[in-house]
Amino acid sequence: MTPPAAKPTQNEKNQALLDVDHLKVGIGKRTTRGATIVMGAQLVRIGVQLTTTFFLARLLVPADFGLVALGITVLGLLNLFTDLGLTSITVQIKKLDQNTASALFFINVALGTLALLAVIAASPALAWIFRDENVAPVAIGLATSTPISALGAQHQAILMRNMRWGQTQGLGLTSMTTGSVAAVIAAWLFDLGYWALVIQAIVSAATQVAGVWLICPWRPSFVRSWTGVREAIGTSVNLSGSMVLGYLHRQFDNMLIGWRWGAAELGYYARGYSLLMMPLNLVTGPLSSAMIPALSRLQDEPVRWRQAYLDALILVTALGGGLAAVLFGGASPIIELVLGPGWQKSEDVFSSLSLALLAATPMNTVSWIYISLGRSRRMLLWGVIGTSTYVAAFLIGLPFGAVGVALAYGIAQISAFLPCMWMATRHTSTSFADVLKAILPVMTITVIVGLSLRYIADGLGLVPGLLATALAGVAYIGLFALLCLNWPQHRRVRARAIGILQGVLSHRRPARIEAERAARGQPGAREDDIKRTADA
């Protein structure tokens, strides 16, 4: 009798997760499969968000959302200092040893705890700044989720480093759904008001950490050497600086509106902004999760890196362009359906911010370039330039309320588009001309469809408006398909899509062959059939 194989030790489990050189083999198929998985999960995530928003928008008032948005603004800044770009380093770094990974884990946890203590200490000042005594307890409640999330930050990064998309997305959906259900129950059955949103954040964080420790077998250990850690922290300084600047351009508008106009006005802005971020995250989130690890593995192979980046850029621009077209054109029926009556100002915010979506989706890919190639200093430089532009736009639009800030931001985003892409692609294997050839035709289609839909949908009711929006989406898909057939830069995307379809169909082939042979009384599939299926 053959003795059972020895179980791997904890050190062996850790090393197997930290060593990712084997992922270069078949990385194209792996990345495509990962992007597909994450995109599907993101669609489900948007469904959960829309359902949650549907209920909470009717159970809570705009001031509740505005109050929590203020707390999230404060918490978001602290979260940057609890991470310092350390999880991005875990994903990007070529060689990651156990000492470095463990040290990063303990640093994350320590920073998360300090963040909670900082919010508690600053709570009186927060109430004074925003002239609302409820801001302080809400911020403290939200900050409770920070040390909880820190316990799973490195585990999550290690799973991403290993491109384990199914596990990470399944866990993310579970934690999000659990938090959403808790929020609706708290608001509906217990009438807890804005505390329902605080409960949502805490429950989601706790579920995420519990799940990631069950899924990821990596465990931290005693740090015997801090050499690799010092190098990682040196890189993280630029990354964390870029993240702080990015936070300012994403959250400073909330601060200004809350300070100048109060929680109710901010509630309208936050709901419109949140609805826009759902489809934007559908595009950029999944592809970023797939592309940053993949491009990081290809950083020493410029030809493969260029092809992978341009293919993904075309895809993200096409998806973002389609969303921008239907959201801008169909803003009125979409807001009426999701938020219901009394949210007209959110519709104006939503419509104005949709302008930014046209440029925001391709601009989000510059982080793929900077992180995967280790160009954190240039990333920080663009952060200074871009954030200065956006903050100036916020200040210009502030006297006109939430809608003025949204419109100013959309104009600033479009104005920054070309400089952003030019700066990111300098001295890389991808030229600025490559980028323009890839995205300008898609943007042209977006403008045509979006303006046409806006002209038509504004004079329609809810149901006809939604129908017109859906038809505009179909028209956009058809135009993009024609573009892939005729525009040289997009033919690789067409070939990749056909390859994916063939791969899906090939997975059904063994079962069909087996059934046919069983019906004829023949033995199972031959070895060469199995091999061909495995290769596909």
Percent of the chain clearing pLDDT 70 (strictly above): 80
Structural domains in the chain (count): 2
Res. 455: pLDDT tops 70: yes
Q: Tell me the one-letter amino acid at 511.
A: A
Confidence (pLDDT) at 422: 93
Taking only Cα atoms into account, the Rg of the chain, rounded to an integer number of angstroms, comes to 24
Judgement on whether residues 507 and 459 belong to the same structural domain of the protein: no
- Label residue 390 exposed, middle or buried (CB < 10 Å: 0-12, 13-18, 19+): buried
Confidence (pLDDT) at 528: 41
Confidence (pLDDT) at 28: 66
Q: Does any domain span residue 17?
A: no
Q: Does any domain span residue 384?
A: yes
| Number of neighbours of residue 5 by Cβ within 10 angstroms | 6
Q: Does any domain span residue 236?
A: yes
The answer to pTM > 0.85 is no
Query: What would the two tokens of residue 14 be?
Result: 């850790």
Judgement on whether residues 155 and 265 belong to the same structural domain of the protein: yes
Q: Does any domain span residue 223?
A: yes
Q: Tell me the one-letter amino acid at 128.
A: W
Judgement on whether residues 524 and 465 belong to the same structural domain of the protein: no
Residue 298, φ and ψ in degrees, nearest 5: -100, 15
Res. 203: pLDDT tops 90: yes
Query: What would the two tokens of residue 101 be?
Result: 């990974």
Confidence (pLDDT) at 475: 93
Confidence (pLDDT) at 355: 72
- Per-residue pLDDT tens for 491-507? 776 666 565 555 545 54
Per-residue pLDDT band for 179 (boundaries 50, 70, 90) equals very high
Query: What would the two tokens of residue 453 be?
Result: 């839909």
Confidence (pLDDT) at 10: 87
Judgement on whether residues 320 and 365 belong to the same structural domain of the protein: yes
Judgement on whether residues 391 and 517 belong to the same structural domain of the protein: no
Q: Does any domain span residue 8?
A: no
Q: Which residue has the higher pLDDT, 495 or 91?
A: 91
Res. 77: pLDDT tops 80: no
Judgement on whether residues 139 and 256 belong to the same structural domain of the protein: yes
Confidence (pLDDT) at 235: 60
Confidence (pLDDT) at 183: 93
Confidence (pLDDT) at 392: 92
Confidence (pLDDT) at 178: 95
Q: Which residue has the higher pLDDT, 392 or 293?
A: 392
Query: What would the two tokens of residue 458 be?
Result: 């504004």
Confidence (pLDDT) at 44: 86
The chain-wide mean pLDDT, for the chain, equals: 80
- The answer to which of 43-52, 133-142, 302-311, 345-354 has the lowest mean pLDDT is 345-354
Judgement on whether residues 382 and 527 belong to the same structural domain of the protein: no
Judgement on whether residues 423 and 505 belong to the same structural domain of the protein: no
Q: What is the mean pLDDT of residues 426-433?
A: 89
Residue 414, φ and ψ in degrees, nearest 5: -65, -40
Nearest by Cα to 101 from 249, 219, 231, 203: 219
What whole-number distance in Å separates Cα of residue 358 and Cα of residue 479? 17
> Is residue 148 within 8 Å of residue 212, measured between CB atoms?
no
Judgement on whether residues 377 and 405 belong to the same structural domain of the protein: yes
Confidence (pLDDT) at 7: 80
- Per-residue pLDDT tens for 288-331? 767 777 788 787 888 888 888 888 888 888 888 888 888 888 88
Q: Tell me the one-letter amino acid at 69.
A: A
Query: What would the two tokens of residue 260 be?
Result: 């100048």
- Per-residue pLDDT tens for 466-523? 899 899 999 999 998 888 887 777 777 666 656 555 554 554 444 444 444 444 444 4
Res. 338: pLDDT tops 90: no
Judgement on whether residues 367 and 502 belong to the same structural domain of the protein: no
Nearest by Cα to 287 from 364, 357, 356, 370: 364
Confidence (pLDDT) at 499: 57
Per-residue pLDDT band for 68 (boundaries 50, 70, 90) equals confident
Q: What is the mean pLDDT of residues 139-160?
A: 90
Judgement on whether residues 441 and 521 belong to the same structural domain of the protein: no
Q: Does any domain span residue 288?
A: yes
Confidence (pLDDT) at 67: 83
- Per-residue pLDDT tens for 17-43? 888 776 666 666 777 677 678 778 877
Percent of the chain clearing pLDDT 90 (strictly above): 15
Q: Does any domain span residue 402?
A: yes
Q: Does any domain span residue 173?
A: yes
Query: What would the two tokens of residue 506 be?
Result: 């090939």
Q: Which residue has the higher pLDDT, 344 or 14?
A: 14
Type and span of the H or E element at 169: helix 165-188
Task: Provide the residue range defining the domain that includes 285.
Answer: 23-486
Judgement on whether residues 179 and 155 belong to the same structural domain of the protein: yes
Confidence (pLDDT) at 524: 43
Q: What is the mean pLDDT of residues 356-366?
A: 83
Confidence (pLDDT) at 239: 65
CA 211 and chain centroid, separation: 20
Per-residue pLDDT band for 112 (boundaries 50, 70, 90) equals confident
Confidence (pLDDT) at 79: 66
Per-residue pLDDT band for 186 (boundaries 50, 70, 90) equals very high
Per-residue pLDDT band for 536 (boundaries 50, 70, 90) equals very low
Sign of CA dihedral 143, 149, 151, 157: negative
